[in-house]
Amino acid sequence: MLPRPTPATSEALPGGRGFAVVDVEATGRSPWRHRLVEVAVVVLDERLRPEGEFATLLDPLGPVGPTHVHRIRQADVEGAPRFREIAPRLLELLAGRVLVGHHVSCDHAFLDREFARIGVPLPPVPLLCTMRLARDHLPEVRGHGLAACAEAAGLGWYPAHTALGDARVTAELLRHCVGVPSCPPDDWAGPLREAARVPWPRLGRARSRPSGGAVPLLRREAPHGPWLPGSAAPELVLTQAGAMCSTA
C-alpha cells in the first residue's frame, strides 16, 4: 500500500524542491470567466514523500456555481479567504517544485488566471500530468478520469470533487504510476532540475481583517483512505483549519 500523508501535517516549509500536487474547484469551467472556490496543495519531496498539505475554501465574490458537482454551498464560503489573501502562501508552496495535477493544464490555467487578476504573472513552471501517466502506464484503466485511474491503481474510495481529496489521491496515483516497471526512473529528473531553477515572485502576507482578526482558512476534511469498494463514504466536515499570519 502506498504511503499516506500524516493527518496531523498541515503545511510545508516554503522554498522546497520536489512536487506540488494541486487541485482546484471552481464556479464553472472557464478560467477566464469563473473563479476558484477551493484550492488544495499536497507537497512531496523529490522522492515523493509527503511534506505537508494546504487547503481552504475561497470566497469567489459571487455565486459558487455547480453545487451538485463540488458540493460547496453559498453559506460554506461565508468568511472564507479571498484568493489574494492566500496567494502569498500558495506562491511559497509552489516555488521550486514541479506542478502536478490530474489534467494539470486545467488546474494550472485557473491558478494562472487568479494570480493574473491580482497582477502576479506565474513563471513558466514544469507540469506533470497524472492523467497522461495513467494513460501510458496503467493499460487496464477504463477511462482517464481521476476516479477511474484511482480504481485501476487500487487506491479505493476518496472524497471526489473536494480539492484536498482529489489532491491526495492524485499524489498517490503519481507514486503508483512512477513505481510501475514501464515508467523510466528518470522521467521526472529533468523537470525537477528545471523547477528548482525557476525564479518565483513573492508577495507580502495579507493583512488582518478589518475586525482585527487574522485571515481564516476554511477546510473541507474527510478521513484518510483507502476505503473498500462499496463501503459508505464518510461525511465531509468543514473546519476552520487555522489562520494566515496577519503581518504586512
**Is residue 33 exposed (0-12), middle (13-18) or buried (19+ Cβ within 10 Å)?**
exposed
Q: In degrees to the nearest 10, what's the CA dihedral of 65, 240, 5, 149?
A: -10
3-class secondary-structure state, position 67: helix
Confirm if 217 and 245 have CB atoms less than 8 A apart: no
Task: State the greatest distance between any 2 C-alpha atoms of the chain, in Å, as a whole number.
Answer: 56
Which DSSP string do the residues of 143-207 spell out, in sequence order?
SSSHHHHHHHTT-----TTSHHHHHHHHHHHHHHHHTSTTS-TTTTHHHHHHHHH------PPPP
Whole-number Å distance between alpha carbons of 74 and 72:
7
3-class secondary-structure state, position 88: helix
- How are beta strands 237-243 and 216-221 bridged, if at all? antiparallel
The pLDDT, as a whole number, for residue 234 is 53
Question: Residues with Cβ < 8 Å from 211, sequence gap 6 or more?
Answer: none
Question: Residues with Cβ < 8 Å from 201, sequence gap 6 or more?
Answer: 91, 120, 121, 123
**CA-wise closest residue to 95 among 43, 172, 166, 51:** 43
Query: Could you tell me the CA-to-CA distances from 216 to 9, 55, 149, 166, 213 in Å, in that order?
Result: 18, 11, 34, 22, 8
3-class secondary-structure state, position 240: strand
The tally of CA atoms less than 13 A away on the side-chain side of residue 57 is: 24
At which residue does the C-alpha cell 476552520 appear? 240
The pLDDT, as a whole number, for residue 5 is 33
Per-residue pLDDT of the chain (248 residues; tens, 9 = 90+): 233 333 333 344 445 689 999 999 999 999 999 999 999 999 999 999 999 999 999 999 999 999 999 999 999 999 999 999 999 999 999 999 999 999 999 999 999 999 999 999 999 999 999 999 999 998 888 888 999 999 999 987 788 889 999 999 999 999 999 888 888 766 678 889 999 999 999 888 766 566 666 778 999 876 555 444 444 555 567 677 665 543 22
Confirm if 130 and 170 have CB atoms less than 8 A apart: yes
